[in-house]
Amino acid sequence: MLEGNRVSRISVRGFAVASATAVTTVGCVVGVASGTTAQTPSDDAEALSDDSTLLADIPAGQQAQVQTASLTQQADAQAIAADTTAKKDAEEAARKKAADDAVAKQKAAEKAEQEAKERKEAEEAASRSATRDPSSFAPQKSYTVAEVQDMARQIVPADQFQCFSNIVDHESSWNYQADNPTSDAYGLVQALPGSKMSSAGADWQTNPATQIKWGLSYMDGRYGSPCEAWSFWQANNWY
């Protein structure tokens, strides 16, 4: 035993009694076998019970084991606490990243939407600026439906052409000489009276381009656009 690692003495009264009893019992057996009289267990136990120093000091190795177990428990507890803290930090970082990503995506979507809107407006503006002036069309003696429609595509803004076409389909079936027998309505857009179209040109009776110019101006001035005029027409069957 190492003297420097010795622990304080402890009373091992109960353990001594049990040990003495066991030893005495063995002695009795031996005595009987050899023909001698053995001392009773109770006497030996009682004799030993008064001596609290029968056992030597507890070895330092046992104390070291207890200390090691305690340190191991502390280390485990610290490791668990550190792991819990790390998990909480990781979860918080993940939540923050997710929130930041959501904000970034929203901003990107808003930016993309704004850019798409600006592109559409630019395209519409370009379409309007690219329209052809009605006076640039050389007069003809007559025009086919296809020719009249082609003229309209070049005069009416692209984003409004279909609505303009819908109205003309219902009003005159693209007949620039359509004359309503029950009224003074005339031409592609059935201006009432037809003479109103003279504000767009003196050739309003024979030139589809002049009629298209007047009809577009009328729809823009009264309803805001051919598509707004078409919405009104659908609700009322006239415009």
- Closest among 35, 36, 54, 34 to 44, alpha carbons compared: 54
Residues 67-106 have pLDDT tens digits of 788 888 888 899 999 989 999 899 989 989 999 999 999 9
Counting every residue, how long is the chain? 239
Q: Is residue 9 predicted with pLDDT exceeding 60?
A: no
Instruction: Give 37 or 152, the one with higher predicted confidence.
Output: 152
Check pLDDT > 60 for residue 204.
yes
Q: How far apart are CA 13 and CA 48, in angstroms?
A: 8
**Fold observed for domain 142-236:** Lysozyme (1.10.530)
Of the listed ranges 25-29, 133-137, 142-146, 224-228, the one predicted with least confidence: 25-29
Q: Residue 39 and residue 32: Cα distance in Å, rounded?
A: 11
The confidence score (pLDDT) of residue 54 equals: 45
Nearest residue to 205 (alpha-carbon basis) of 222, 217, 193, 220: 193
pLDDT band at 233 (very low <50, low <70, confident <90, very high): very high
Tell me the mean pLDDT in the region 133-139: 91
| Among 23-27, 76-80, 137-141, 208-212, the least confident range | 23-27
- Write the pLDDT tens digit of every residue in 16-75: 444 444 434 444 333 434 444 444 445 554 444 444 444 455 566 676 777 788 888 888
pLDDT for 57 equals 58
Work out the average pLDDT over 192-202. Answer: 97
Burial 194-206 (b: 16+ CB within 10 A, else e): bebbeebbeebbb
Closest CA to 14 of 63, 52, 58, 40: 52
Q: Which residues contact 42 (CB under 8 A, 6 or more apart)?
A: none
